[in-house]
A and B are shown apart, each in its own frame.
Chain A
Amino acid sequence: MAAILETEALGFSYAYASRPVFNELDLVVREGEFVLVTGVSGSGKSTLLRLFCRLEAYNSGRILFKGKAIETYCPSELRRFIIYVPQIPSMIEGSVEENLVFPFSFRANSDLEKPSEKQLSEMLEAFYLSDVSLRYQAKKLSVGQQQRLALMRALLLEPEILLLDEPTSALDAESSAMVFSIIEELNASRAKTVVMVTHGTFVPARVKPVVYSVENMKLRSL
């Protein structure tokens, strides 16, 4: 399968740090792959995902999306194709429905059709949220429910790559199992490319992941 996301000799360091986070890091992610990035806390796993969607600016090397440097895309359009779901979901003030549809008001998403209430309700069911009303205040939901809502919100924009930053770190075992099941389903049935960062020992049951570990400012294939 063709490469969808690549890094070439990627280098990055934070302005306040004496040691770089990444140095000459190379990675190839192919279409439809399920990539797991592991590593100790503070090794730069989340930073790697943030670099892919330009939430951080790298210092050297290149990042390519579909063979073209990510700088050649308008940032808001790039972020529609490569959606990053942060570790702690962020909800706006308002209902579940408002939280799901607000991205459709952004200019970069103007060509997408806003989902109907029926479609949203069906999706809530598929995400184990059938007991949650579309009128309910999103900020009152549990973190596990908000995390599933954040995943739903990302998927409604039909991204090509999902970047997931420790999506179950704040969840109990039951909620974690639900979220993992959804992510596997997305990759297996809907052929979404997934790059997921985790510090745990998640072993997908239905898909075979490509696993890397962040070590010494590079990625090591496991």
Chain B
Amino acid sequence: MSPVVEISFWQLLLALLFILVAQIASFVYHLGLNKDISIGTVRTFAQLFLMGYVLTFIFSIENLWLTVGIFVIMAISASFIIRGRVREKDVPYMLPTFLTMFVSYFITAVFVTGLIIGVAPWWEPRYFLPIGGMVIGNSMSALAIALERLFREMRQQKGLIETRLCLGANYREASSEMFRNAVSAGMIPSINAMMGVGLVFIPGMMSGQILAGADPLQAIRYQIIIMLMLVGSTATTSIITILIVRKRCFGKGEELLLGEK
């Protein structure tokens, strides 16, 4: 197998040509994305370099609490990114979202590293953090979609929900399909990913392993575990979070707290 080709600093800068193309396209077609593309590019460089140094440091000292601490920071960051996308002010959903994400992702990551891959110790940062990051990153998008869908449908269907409440439904019965639609909407991207994987695209982690010189047959085993893990963690996190947040959409008298928009 050929050795890994090192990327020099100048080769890295050459990749900025892709950004130049995107900037020109935004400018020519008045997309208004030039500022966002610039900020995104700087953040990509800064965040990934920072992460590279942090990971190098963490891998070298191998400390349980530091590893878990980094995992907590990742989950908190994901919660704030979700808040930025969902923009709901009437219902407090941040705390249940963070707690569910943290507990569910933690259990998933421990299960995968400790039991399926069989790393010892289970928190070995070289395995635990990238896998944890993949769970958080993928499920974060699912959760943002599910929450946004829940709030939107609850507001749009306020008349129907209140009609059901007025006819003796409890809050669960009154909002049953809004709950189902929200969870399904969040899960569809990861189910679609299972359908297309290997046919339409080669997943990022598998590509990375192959580029780093790993045997493709070994890389697919990791990838299968990751895909299954993502579907499972997305399902459990979405269901638990949406169950808790839906309850918070109703007051003590099971009255809907969200107004129509």
Q: Which residues on A are within 8 Å of B, measured CB to CB?
A: 53-57, 70-71, 75-77, 79-80, 83-86, 88-90, 92, 102-103, 105-109, 153-154, 157
Give B48-97 interface residues, CB cut-off 8 Å to A.
none
Q: Check B166–A56 contact: CB distance below 8 A.
A: no
> Per a CB cutoff under 8 Å, which of A57, A86, A89, A92 touches B255?
A57
Q: B4-42 toward A: CB 8 Å interface, digit per residue (1/0)?
A: 000000000000000000000000000000000000000
Closest to B160 in A: A90
Task: Please indicate the chain B residues that have their CB under 8 angstroms from the CB of A79 in the complex.
Answer: 165-168
Q: Complex Cα distance A102/B166, Å? A: 12
Q: Check B173–A75 contact: CB distance below 8 A.
A: no
> Per a CB cutoff under 8 Å, which of B162, B169, B251, B256 touches A86?
B162
Count residues on chain B whose CB falls below 8 Å from chain A CBs.
18
Q: Check A71–B253 contact: CB distance below 8 A.
A: yes
Q: Check A108–B170 contact: CB distance below 8 A.
A: yes
Q: Check A55–B168 contact: CB distance below 8 A.
A: no
Q: Check A90–B159 contact: CB distance below 8 A.
A: yes
Give the tally of cross-chain contacts (CB within 8 A).
Answer: 75
Closest to B256 in A: A55
Q: Check B165–A80 contact: CB distance below 8 A.
A: no
Once A75-B253, A76-B254, A92-B160 are accepted as A-B contacts, the answer to whether A55 and B173 lie under 8 Å apart by CB is no
Closest to B251 in A: A57
Minimum distance in angstroms from B252 CB to a CB of chain A: 7
Q: Check B167–A106 contact: CB distance below 8 A.
A: yes
Q: Indicate whether B163 reaches chain A with its CB closer than 8 angstroms.
A: yes
> Per a CB cutoff under 8 Å, which of B160, B165, B167, B252 touches A57?
B252
Minimum distance in angstroms from B247 CB to a CB of chain A: 13
Minimum distance in angstroms from A86 CB to a CB of chain B: 7
Task: Please indicate the chain B residues that have their CB under 8 angstroms from the CB of A105 in the complex.
Answer: 173
Minimum distance in angstroms from A64 CB to a CB of chain B: 15
Minimum distance in angstroms from A58 CB to a CB of chain B: 10
Q: Check B253–A54 contact: CB distance below 8 A.
A: yes
> Per a CB cutoff under 8 Å, which of B159, B162, B168, B252 touches A109?
B168
> Per a CB cutoff under 8 Å, which of A56, A86, A108 touches B163?
A86
Minimum distance in angstroms from B249 CB to a CB of chain A: 14
Task: Please indicate the chain A residues that have their CB under 8 angstroms from the CB of B255 in the complex.
Answer: 54-57, 75
The listed residue with most A CB atoms (<10 A of its CB), out of B159, B163, B166, B169, is B166
Q: Check A86–B159 contact: CB distance below 8 A.
A: yes
Once A54-B254, A54-B255 are accepted as A-B contacts, the answer to whether A103 and B162 lie under 8 Å apart by CB is no
Give B234-261 interface residues, CB cut-off 8 Å to A.
251-256
Minimum distance in angstroms from A163 CB to a CB of chain B: 9
Q: Check A83–B166 contact: CB distance below 8 A.
A: yes
Once A57-B251, A107-B173 are accepted as A-B contacts, the answer to whether A76 and B163 lie under 8 Å apart by CB is no
Task: Please indicate the chain B residues that have their CB under 8 angstroms from the CB of A54 in the complex.
Answer: 253-255
List 5 extra interface pairs beyond A55-B255, A79-B166, A90-B159, CB under 8 A.
Answer: A75-B170, A79-B165, A106-B167, A106-B170, A153-B167
Minimum distance in angstroms from B197 CB to a CB of chain A: 36
Give B92-118 interface residues, CB cut-off 8 Å to A.
none
Q: Check A76–B169 contact: CB distance below 8 A.
A: yes
Task: Please indicate the chain A residues that have their CB under 8 angstroms from the CB of B170 in the complex.
Answer: 75-76, 106-108
Task: Please indicate the chain B residues that have their CB under 8 angstroms from the CB of A102 in the complex.
Answer: 167
Task: Please indicate the chain B residues that have their CB under 8 angstroms from the CB of A56 in the complex.
Answer: 255
19 contacts between A and B (CB under 8 A): A55-B255, A55-B256, A70-B253, A75-B170, A75-B254, A79-B167, A80-B168, A83-B167, A84-B166, A88-B159, A90-B162, A90-B163, A103-B168, A105-B173, A106-B164, A106-B169, A108-B170, A153-B167, A154-B166
Task: Please indicate the chain B residues that have their CB under 8 angstroms from the CB of A57 in the complex.
Answer: 251-253, 255
Minimum distance in angstroms from A80 CB to a CB of chain B: 4
Once A57-B251, A57-B252, A107-B173 are accepted as A-B contacts, the answer to whether A157 and B168 lie under 8 Å apart by CB is yes
Give B202-253 interface residues, CB cut-off 8 Å to A.
251-253
Q: Check B168–A77 contact: CB distance below 8 A.
A: yes
Task: Please indicate the chain A residues that have their CB under 8 angstroms from the CB of B254 in the complex.
Answer: 54, 75-76
The 7 closest A-B CB pairs, nearest first, are A54-B253, A103-B167, A90-B163, A108-B168, A80-B168, A75-B254, A90-B159
The listed residue with most A CB atoms (<10 A of its CB), out of B159, B163, B170, is B163
Task: Please indicate the chain B residues that have their CB under 8 angstroms from the CB of A154 in the complex.
Answer: 166-167
Task: Please indicate the chain B residues that have their CB under 8 angstroms from the CB of A76 in the complex.
Answer: 165, 168-170, 173, 254
Minimum distance in angstroms from A94 CB to a CB of chain B: 12
